[in-house]
Amino acid sequence: MTTTTSTTTSTVTTPLDRGSAMPRRALVALAATALVACAGVAPAHASTPRAPRTPAPSTTPTPGAPGGAAARKEPPAQMSKVGGERLGSPGDQVGAGAPNLPAGLSALSWVVADADTGQVLGARNAHWQLPPASTLKMLFADTVLPAVPHTGSRTVTPEDLKGMGDGSSAVGIVPGGTYQVPDLWRGVFLRSGNDAVHVLAAMNGGVEKTVADMQRRAKELGAGDTNVRSPDGYDAPGQVSSAYDLTLFLRQGLKDKDFKEYCSTASAQFPGGPAGPGKDKPFGISNTNRMLSGADGVAPYPGLIGGKNGYTTNAGNTLAEAAQRDGHTIVVTVMNPQDNKRDQVYTEMRALLDWGFAAAGKATPVGTLDQAGAGGGAAAKGGAAAASTSATGSGSGPGALGWSAIGVGAAAVAGGSGWLLVRRRRRAQG
Protein backbone atom coordinates (compact mmCIF):
# COMPACT_ATOMS: atom_id res chain seq x y z
CA MET A 1 0.00 0.00 0.00
CA THR A 2 1.11 3.54 -0.54
CA THR A 3 2.33 6.02 2.03
CA THR A 4 3.68 8.59 -0.41
CA THR A 5 2.70 8.97 -4.02
CA SER A 6 4.40 10.84 -6.79
CA THR A 7 4.01 10.79 -10.54
CA THR A 8 6.69 11.22 -13.15
CA THR A 9 5.91 11.96 -16.76
CA SER A 10 7.77 12.08 -20.01
CA THR A 11 6.38 12.95 -23.41
CA VAL A 12 7.07 11.27 -26.73
CA THR A 13 6.04 13.15 -29.85
CA THR A 14 5.43 11.56 -33.24
CA PRO A 15 4.89 13.79 -36.28
CA LEU A 16 1.91 12.94 -38.46
CA ASP A 17 2.35 12.30 -42.16
CA ARG A 18 1.55 15.76 -43.48
CA GLY A 19 1.45 14.51 -47.09
CA SER A 20 -1.34 11.99 -46.47
CA ALA A 21 -4.66 12.48 -48.19
CA MET A 22 -6.46 11.22 -45.07
CA PRO A 23 -7.93 14.07 -42.96
CA ARG A 24 -5.65 15.06 -40.12
CA ARG A 25 -8.29 14.32 -37.45
CA ALA A 26 -8.74 10.77 -38.76
CA LEU A 27 -4.97 10.24 -38.86
CA VAL A 28 -4.62 11.43 -35.29
CA ALA A 29 -7.40 9.15 -34.09
CA LEU A 30 -5.96 6.20 -35.99
CA ALA A 31 -2.46 6.78 -34.61
CA ALA A 32 -3.77 7.15 -31.08
CA THR A 33 -5.74 3.93 -31.35
CA ALA A 34 -2.75 2.04 -32.73
CA LEU A 35 -0.34 3.25 -30.07
CA VAL A 36 -2.78 2.58 -27.25
CA ALA A 37 -3.44 -0.93 -28.58
CA CYS A 38 0.27 -1.70 -28.95
CA ALA A 39 1.00 -0.48 -25.44
CA GLY A 40 -1.89 -2.47 -23.99
CA VAL A 41 -3.32 0.48 -22.08
CA ALA A 42 -6.56 2.33 -21.69
CA PRO A 43 -7.00 5.80 -23.22
CA ALA A 44 -6.61 8.88 -21.07
CA HIS A 45 -10.23 8.99 -19.91
CA ALA A 46 -9.86 5.47 -18.43
CA SER A 47 -6.73 6.09 -16.39
CA THR A 48 -6.79 4.95 -12.76
CA PRO A 49 -7.75 7.59 -10.16
CA ARG A 50 -5.09 8.44 -7.63
CA ALA A 51 -5.59 7.41 -4.01
CA PRO A 52 -2.47 8.14 -1.98
CA ARG A 53 -2.97 5.98 1.13
CA THR A 54 -5.40 3.26 0.07
CA PRO A 55 -5.32 2.95 -3.72
CA ALA A 56 -8.45 1.80 -5.49
CA PRO A 57 -8.05 -1.25 -7.74
CA SER A 58 -6.36 -0.44 -11.01
CA THR A 59 -8.23 -0.25 -14.31
CA THR A 60 -4.97 -0.31 -16.29
CA PRO A 61 -4.47 -3.63 -18.10
CA THR A 62 -1.74 -5.77 -16.62
CA PRO A 63 1.24 -6.59 -18.86
CA GLY A 64 1.11 -10.16 -20.09
CA ALA A 65 2.75 -11.95 -22.98
CA PRO A 66 4.17 -9.67 -25.68
CA GLY A 67 2.16 -9.36 -28.86
CA GLY A 68 -1.27 -8.30 -27.61
CA ALA A 69 -2.15 -10.74 -24.83
CA ALA A 70 -1.89 -7.92 -22.31
CA ALA A 71 -4.65 -5.94 -24.01
CA ARG A 72 -6.88 -9.03 -24.11
CA LYS A 73 -5.95 -10.05 -20.54
CA GLU A 74 -5.50 -13.63 -21.69
CA PRO A 75 -3.04 -16.01 -20.01
CA PRO A 76 -0.23 -17.51 -22.06
CA ALA A 77 -1.11 -20.73 -23.85
CA GLN A 78 1.99 -22.36 -22.38
CA MET A 79 2.83 -22.02 -18.69
CA SER A 80 5.05 -23.89 -16.26
CA LYS A 81 3.69 -27.21 -15.00
CA VAL A 82 5.54 -27.08 -11.69
CA GLY A 83 3.36 -28.72 -9.07
CA GLY A 84 1.22 -30.63 -11.56
CA GLU A 85 -0.05 -30.69 -15.13
CA ARG A 86 -3.30 -28.90 -14.38
CA LEU A 87 -1.50 -25.94 -12.87
CA GLY A 88 0.01 -25.27 -16.28
CA SER A 89 -3.39 -25.08 -17.96
CA PRO A 90 -5.19 -21.75 -18.42
CA GLY A 91 -8.49 -21.08 -16.71
CA ASP A 92 -10.07 -22.31 -13.48
CA GLN A 93 -8.86 -25.65 -12.14
CA VAL A 94 -10.82 -27.46 -9.42
CA GLY A 95 -11.00 -31.13 -8.50
CA ALA A 96 -13.77 -33.63 -7.88
CA GLY A 97 -15.69 -33.04 -4.69
CA ALA A 98 -14.92 -29.32 -4.57
CA PRO A 99 -17.72 -26.88 -3.80
CA ASN A 100 -18.77 -24.44 -6.49
CA LEU A 101 -16.36 -21.57 -6.92
CA PRO A 102 -17.51 -18.20 -5.57
CA ALA A 103 -19.34 -16.01 -8.05
CA GLY A 104 -17.72 -12.85 -9.35
CA LEU A 105 -14.05 -13.84 -9.23
CA SER A 106 -12.33 -11.37 -11.54
CA ALA A 107 -8.64 -11.85 -10.64
CA LEU A 108 -6.32 -12.66 -13.51
CA SER A 109 -4.71 -15.33 -11.36
CA TRP A 110 -5.29 -17.02 -7.99
CA VAL A 111 -4.23 -20.06 -6.01
CA VAL A 112 -5.87 -21.72 -2.98
CA ALA A 113 -3.75 -24.26 -1.09
CA ASP A 114 -3.62 -26.18 2.18
CA ALA A 115 -0.41 -25.00 3.85
CA ASP A 116 -0.16 -28.13 6.00
CA THR A 117 -0.46 -30.75 3.25
CA GLY A 118 0.83 -28.65 0.35
CA GLN A 119 -2.24 -29.57 -1.70
CA VAL A 120 -3.40 -26.99 -4.22
CA LEU A 121 -7.18 -27.11 -3.87
CA GLY A 122 -7.99 -24.78 -6.75
CA ALA A 123 -6.34 -22.30 -9.08
CA ARG A 124 -6.75 -19.94 -11.99
CA ASN A 125 -3.73 -19.42 -14.25
CA ALA A 126 -1.45 -20.44 -11.38
CA HIS A 127 1.81 -19.89 -13.30
CA TRP A 128 0.91 -16.72 -15.21
CA GLN A 129 3.95 -14.46 -14.82
CA LEU A 130 2.64 -11.09 -13.65
CA PRO A 131 4.11 -8.09 -11.80
CA PRO A 132 3.87 -8.85 -8.05
CA ALA A 133 4.14 -5.38 -6.48
CA SER A 134 4.91 -5.51 -2.75
CA THR A 135 3.89 -9.15 -2.30
CA LEU A 136 7.47 -9.78 -3.48
CA LYS A 137 8.53 -8.52 -0.05
CA MET A 138 7.60 -12.00 1.22
CA LEU A 139 10.53 -13.40 -0.77
CA PHE A 140 12.69 -10.56 0.55
CA ALA A 141 11.79 -11.63 4.09
CA ASP A 142 12.32 -15.34 3.33
CA THR A 143 15.79 -14.40 2.12
CA VAL A 144 17.02 -11.67 4.47
CA LEU A 145 15.36 -12.53 7.81
CA PRO A 146 17.84 -15.38 8.45
CA ALA A 147 20.79 -13.34 7.18
CA VAL A 148 20.57 -10.12 9.23
CA PRO A 149 20.96 -10.59 13.02
CA HIS A 150 17.82 -9.63 14.91
CA THR A 151 19.89 -7.98 17.61
CA GLY A 152 21.48 -5.56 15.14
CA SER A 153 20.85 -1.89 14.46
CA ARG A 154 21.85 0.64 11.82
CA THR A 155 22.39 4.37 11.72
CA VAL A 156 20.94 5.22 8.34
CA THR A 157 22.91 7.17 5.74
CA PRO A 158 21.53 8.86 2.61
CA GLU A 159 23.36 6.19 0.60
CA ASP A 160 21.19 3.50 2.20
CA LEU A 161 18.07 5.04 0.67
CA LYS A 162 19.43 5.63 -2.83
CA GLY A 163 17.72 3.82 -5.67
CA MET A 164 14.20 3.85 -4.24
CA GLY A 165 11.59 4.25 -6.95
CA ASP A 166 9.59 7.45 -7.34
CA GLY A 167 6.49 7.38 -5.19
CA SER A 168 7.69 4.44 -3.12
CA SER A 169 5.68 3.54 -0.06
CA ALA A 170 7.68 4.38 3.06
CA VAL A 171 7.45 3.99 6.81
CA GLY A 172 9.31 7.25 7.48
CA ILE A 173 12.98 6.41 8.00
CA VAL A 174 15.18 9.48 8.37
CA PRO A 175 18.92 9.58 7.52
CA GLY A 176 20.92 9.98 10.71
CA GLY A 177 18.42 7.97 12.72
CA THR A 178 19.39 4.69 14.36
CA TYR A 179 16.93 1.84 13.93
CA GLN A 180 16.79 -1.62 15.48
CA VAL A 181 16.35 -4.56 13.10
CA PRO A 182 12.91 -5.57 14.52
CA ASP A 183 11.68 -2.00 13.93
CA LEU A 184 12.88 -2.18 10.34
CA TRP A 185 10.98 -5.42 9.79
CA ARG A 186 7.83 -3.87 11.23
CA GLY A 187 8.31 -1.08 8.71
CA VAL A 188 8.48 -3.68 5.92
CA PHE A 189 5.47 -5.74 6.96
CA LEU A 190 3.14 -3.12 8.39
CA ARG A 191 3.75 -0.12 6.16
CA SER A 192 5.25 -1.91 3.14
CA GLY A 193 8.14 0.50 3.57
CA ASN A 194 10.56 0.45 0.66
CA ASP A 195 12.84 2.62 2.80
CA ALA A 196 13.00 -0.15 5.42
CA VAL A 197 13.69 -2.71 2.69
CA HIS A 198 16.62 -0.66 1.39
CA VAL A 199 18.15 -0.25 4.85
CA LEU A 200 17.90 -3.99 5.51
CA ALA A 201 19.33 -4.66 2.05
CA ALA A 202 22.27 -2.41 2.95
CA MET A 203 22.78 -4.51 6.08
CA ASN A 204 22.71 -7.61 3.87
CA GLY A 205 25.51 -6.33 1.63
CA GLY A 206 23.63 -4.02 -0.70
CA VAL A 207 20.74 -4.06 -3.14
CA GLU A 208 22.59 -5.90 -5.92
CA LYS A 209 23.63 -8.72 -3.60
CA THR A 210 20.17 -8.90 -2.05
CA VAL A 211 18.49 -9.21 -5.46
CA ALA A 212 20.88 -12.05 -6.34
CA ASP A 213 20.20 -13.70 -2.98
CA MET A 214 16.45 -13.43 -3.54
CA GLN A 215 16.72 -14.98 -7.00
CA ARG A 216 18.74 -17.84 -5.57
CA ARG A 217 16.20 -18.35 -2.77
CA ALA A 218 13.34 -18.40 -5.27
CA LYS A 219 15.13 -21.15 -7.17
CA GLU A 220 15.64 -23.14 -3.96
CA LEU A 221 11.91 -22.94 -3.25
CA GLY A 222 11.02 -24.08 -6.77
CA ALA A 223 9.63 -20.68 -7.70
CA GLY A 224 10.57 -20.76 -11.37
CA ASP A 225 8.15 -18.05 -12.47
CA THR A 226 9.89 -15.35 -10.43
CA ASN A 227 12.41 -12.87 -11.83
CA VAL A 228 13.73 -10.45 -9.20
CA ARG A 229 14.84 -6.99 -10.30
CA SER A 230 14.18 -4.95 -7.14
CA PRO A 231 14.16 -6.11 -3.52
CA ASP A 232 10.95 -4.25 -2.62
CA GLY A 233 8.65 -5.23 -5.51
CA TYR A 234 8.70 -1.80 -7.13
CA ASP A 235 7.95 -2.20 -10.84
CA ALA A 236 11.05 -2.92 -12.90
CA PRO A 237 11.50 -4.24 -16.45
CA GLY A 238 11.31 -8.03 -16.41
CA GLN A 239 10.25 -8.34 -12.77
CA VAL A 240 7.50 -10.94 -12.50
CA SER A 241 6.19 -13.65 -10.23
CA SER A 242 3.05 -15.81 -10.16
CA ALA A 243 0.25 -16.75 -7.80
CA TYR A 244 1.89 -20.14 -7.39
CA ASP A 245 5.27 -18.68 -6.45
CA LEU A 246 3.82 -16.08 -4.09
CA THR A 247 1.92 -18.86 -2.33
CA LEU A 248 5.22 -20.72 -1.94
CA PHE A 249 6.81 -17.63 -0.39
CA LEU A 250 4.02 -17.16 2.14
CA ARG A 251 3.94 -20.84 3.07
CA GLN A 252 7.70 -20.80 3.59
CA GLY A 253 7.50 -17.60 5.63
CA LEU A 254 4.95 -19.09 8.02
CA LYS A 255 7.62 -21.60 9.09
CA ASP A 256 9.70 -18.72 10.51
CA LYS A 257 8.43 -17.41 13.85
CA ASP A 258 9.60 -13.85 13.17
CA PHE A 259 7.98 -13.74 9.71
CA LYS A 260 4.76 -15.08 11.20
CA GLU A 261 4.84 -12.53 14.03
CA TYR A 262 5.46 -9.57 11.74
CA CYS A 263 2.88 -10.52 9.11
CA SER A 264 0.23 -10.94 11.81
CA THR A 265 0.90 -7.62 13.58
CA ALA A 266 -1.90 -5.12 13.05
CA SER A 267 -0.28 -2.06 14.65
CA ALA A 268 2.94 -1.00 16.36
CA GLN A 269 5.06 1.97 17.43
CA PHE A 270 7.87 3.10 15.13
CA PRO A 271 10.85 5.15 16.31
CA GLY A 272 11.13 8.79 15.32
CA GLY A 273 14.05 10.33 13.49
CA PRO A 274 17.10 12.22 14.77
CA ALA A 275 16.74 14.26 17.95
CA GLY A 276 14.95 17.57 17.63
CA PRO A 277 11.81 19.26 18.90
CA GLY A 278 9.27 16.46 18.76
CA LYS A 279 11.11 14.60 15.99
CA ASP A 280 12.54 11.82 18.14
CA LYS A 281 9.19 10.63 19.47
CA PRO A 282 7.84 7.23 18.38
CA PHE A 283 4.71 7.26 16.25
CA GLY A 284 2.01 4.69 15.58
CA ILE A 285 1.85 2.63 12.40
CA SER A 286 -0.92 0.30 11.26
CA ASN A 287 -0.81 -2.58 8.81
CA THR A 288 -1.76 -1.72 5.23
CA ASN A 289 -3.22 -5.24 5.01
CA ARG A 290 -6.73 -4.10 5.89
CA MET A 291 -8.13 -7.61 6.17
CA LEU A 292 -5.83 -7.86 9.20
CA SER A 293 -6.10 -4.34 10.58
CA GLY A 294 -9.82 -3.93 9.88
CA ALA A 295 -9.25 -0.39 8.62
CA ASP A 296 -11.46 1.66 6.30
CA GLY A 297 -14.47 -0.62 6.31
CA VAL A 298 -12.74 -3.96 5.63
CA ALA A 299 -13.82 -6.41 8.33
CA PRO A 300 -11.04 -8.56 9.81
CA TYR A 301 -11.22 -12.15 8.59
CA PRO A 302 -11.85 -14.75 11.33
CA GLY A 303 -8.76 -16.84 11.99
CA LEU A 304 -6.54 -14.70 9.77
CA ILE A 305 -2.82 -15.17 10.38
CA GLY A 306 -1.78 -12.46 7.94
CA GLY A 307 0.26 -12.11 4.78
CA LYS A 308 1.26 -9.30 2.44
CA ASN A 309 -0.54 -6.93 0.13
CA GLY A 310 0.72 -4.81 -2.75
CA TYR A 311 -0.32 -2.34 -5.39
CA THR A 312 1.07 -0.59 -8.43
CA THR A 313 -0.72 0.66 -11.52
CA ASN A 314 0.96 -2.08 -13.54
CA ALA A 315 0.41 -4.90 -11.08
CA GLY A 316 -3.02 -3.88 -9.91
CA ASN A 317 -3.85 -5.11 -6.42
CA THR A 318 -2.02 -8.22 -5.25
CA LEU A 319 -2.66 -10.00 -1.97
CA ALA A 320 -1.48 -13.18 -0.22
CA GLU A 321 -3.11 -14.30 3.03
CA ALA A 322 -3.07 -17.25 5.41
CA ALA A 323 -5.85 -18.20 7.81
CA GLN A 324 -6.41 -21.04 10.27
CA ARG A 325 -9.69 -22.79 11.08
CA ASP A 326 -10.89 -26.30 12.01
CA GLY A 327 -7.39 -27.73 11.98
CA HIS A 328 -6.54 -26.41 8.52
CA THR A 329 -4.23 -23.58 7.46
CA ILE A 330 -5.31 -22.20 4.09
CA VAL A 331 -3.08 -19.94 2.00
CA VAL A 332 -4.49 -17.90 -0.87
CA THR A 333 -2.91 -15.56 -3.40
CA VAL A 334 -4.97 -13.19 -5.56
CA MET A 335 -3.41 -11.18 -8.41
CA ASN A 336 -5.01 -8.20 -10.11
CA PRO A 337 -8.82 -8.36 -9.83
CA GLN A 338 -10.33 -6.78 -12.93
CA ASP A 339 -13.55 -5.72 -11.23
CA ASN A 340 -12.94 -2.13 -10.17
CA LYS A 341 -15.23 -2.15 -7.15
CA ARG A 342 -13.86 -0.73 -3.92
CA ASP A 343 -11.86 -3.29 -1.92
CA GLN A 344 -12.44 -5.96 -4.58
CA VAL A 345 -9.16 -7.71 -3.80
CA TYR A 346 -10.33 -8.23 -0.21
CA THR A 347 -13.78 -9.36 -1.35
CA GLU A 348 -12.27 -12.01 -3.62
CA MET A 349 -9.72 -13.03 -0.99
CA ARG A 350 -12.43 -13.51 1.62
CA ALA A 351 -14.52 -15.61 -0.77
CA LEU A 352 -11.57 -17.81 -1.74
CA LEU A 353 -10.52 -18.36 1.88
CA ASP A 354 -14.08 -19.46 2.69
CA TRP A 355 -14.03 -21.73 -0.36
CA GLY A 356 -10.66 -23.18 0.67
CA PHE A 357 -11.90 -24.13 4.12
CA ALA A 358 -14.99 -25.73 2.57
CA ALA A 359 -12.84 -27.68 0.09
CA ALA A 360 -10.09 -28.80 2.50
CA GLY A 361 -10.25 -32.54 3.13
CA LYS A 362 -13.06 -32.99 0.59
CA ALA A 363 -11.82 -31.86 -2.83
CA THR A 364 -9.38 -33.78 -4.98
CA PRO A 365 -6.30 -31.54 -5.25
CA VAL A 366 -5.33 -30.16 -8.65
CA GLY A 367 -1.64 -29.88 -7.79
CA THR A 368 0.85 -29.50 -4.99
CA LEU A 369 3.25 -26.98 -3.48
CA ASP A 370 5.57 -29.89 -2.65
CA GLN A 371 7.09 -30.48 -6.05
CA ALA A 372 9.09 -33.68 -5.42
CA GLY A 373 7.19 -36.61 -6.85
CA ALA A 374 4.79 -34.39 -8.78
CA GLY A 375 6.85 -33.99 -11.92
CA GLY A 376 8.54 -31.12 -10.15
CA GLY A 377 12.04 -31.94 -11.33
CA ALA A 378 11.42 -31.63 -15.04
CA ALA A 379 8.70 -29.06 -14.50
CA ALA A 380 10.98 -26.90 -12.42
CA LYS A 381 13.43 -26.80 -15.30
CA GLY A 382 10.60 -25.70 -17.55
CA GLY A 383 9.62 -23.03 -15.07
CA ALA A 384 13.20 -21.78 -14.84
CA ALA A 385 13.39 -21.69 -18.62
CA ALA A 386 10.17 -19.71 -18.75
CA ALA A 387 11.58 -17.27 -16.22
CA SER A 388 14.75 -16.94 -18.25
CA THR A 389 12.93 -16.24 -21.50
CA SER A 390 10.72 -13.74 -19.72
CA ALA A 391 13.77 -11.69 -18.85
CA THR A 392 14.70 -11.47 -22.53
CA GLY A 393 11.20 -10.75 -23.74
CA SER A 394 10.90 -14.02 -25.70
CA GLY A 395 8.86 -16.03 -23.19
CA SER A 396 5.35 -15.88 -21.84
CA GLY A 397 6.14 -13.18 -19.29
CA PRO A 398 6.45 -9.50 -20.15
CA GLY A 399 10.25 -9.55 -20.37
CA ALA A 400 12.57 -6.60 -20.62
CA LEU A 401 11.39 -5.65 -24.10
CA GLY A 402 7.76 -6.45 -23.42
CA TRP A 403 7.78 -3.94 -20.55
CA SER A 404 8.77 -1.02 -22.73
CA ALA A 405 5.23 0.30 -22.41
CA ILE A 406 5.03 -0.09 -18.60
CA GLY A 407 3.46 2.83 -16.87
CA VAL A 408 1.71 4.20 -19.94
CA GLY A 409 -1.31 5.82 -18.39
CA ALA A 410 -2.85 7.90 -21.14
CA ALA A 411 -2.67 8.93 -24.77
CA ALA A 412 -3.76 12.43 -25.73
CA VAL A 413 -3.93 14.16 -29.08
CA ALA A 414 -3.23 17.85 -29.50
CA GLY A 415 -5.49 18.26 -32.54
CA GLY A 416 -4.45 21.76 -33.49
CA SER A 417 -0.74 20.97 -33.45
CA GLY A 418 -0.83 17.80 -35.55
CA TRP A 419 1.36 15.96 -33.01
CA LEU A 420 0.49 12.81 -31.10
CA LEU A 421 1.43 12.91 -27.46
CA VAL A 422 1.89 9.75 -25.43
CA ARG A 423 2.18 10.44 -21.73
CA ARG A 424 3.97 7.86 -19.62
CA ARG A 425 3.13 7.64 -15.93
CA ARG A 426 4.20 5.47 -13.06
CA ARG A 427 2.11 5.05 -9.94
CA ALA A 428 3.43 4.41 -6.47
CA GLN A 429 4.62 1.05 -5.21
CA GLY A 430 2.24 -0.67 -2.81
Task: Report the distance separating Cα 326 and Cα 58, nearest Å.
Answer: 35
Residue 21: count of CB within 10 angstroms of its CB: 6
**Per residue, what are the HEC states of 215-275?**
HHHHHHCCCCCCECCCCCCCCCCCCEECHHHHHHHHHHHCCCHHHHHHHCCCEEEECCCCC
Q: Of 212, 336, 353, 329, whose CA–CA distance to 260 is shortest?
A: 329
Query: What's the burial of 185, exposed, middle or buried (CB within 10 Å: 0-12/13-18/19+)?
Result: buried
Query: Which residue is catalytic, options 89, 109, 134, 390?
Result: 134
CA distances from 263 to 99, 293, 317 (A): 29, 11, 18
Angle at 207 between CA 204 and CA 209, to 5 degrees: 65
The reply to whether 137 belongs to the active site is: yes
Q: Which of 89, 137, 242, 390 is catalytic?
A: 137
- Please confirm, yes or no, whether 134 is among the known catalytic residues: yes
Name residue 258's amino acid.
D
φ and ψ at 136, to 5 degrees? -65, -20
Closest residue by Cα to residue 343 from 106, 44, 92, 3: 106
Residue 257 annotated in active site: no
Beta strands in 78-152 (DSSP E): 92-94, 107-114, 119-124
What is the C-alpha separation between 385 and 127, in angstroms, rounded?
Answer: 13
| Catalytic residue of the set 192, 230, 241, 396 | 192
Q: What is the DSSP letter of 76?
A: -
What does the alpha-carbon distance between residue 391 and residue 26 come to, in Å, rounded to a whole number?
A: 38
Q: Report the alpha-carbon distance of residue 306 to residue 232 in Å, rounded.
A: 18
Instruction: Provide the annotated active-site residues.
Output: 134, 137, 192
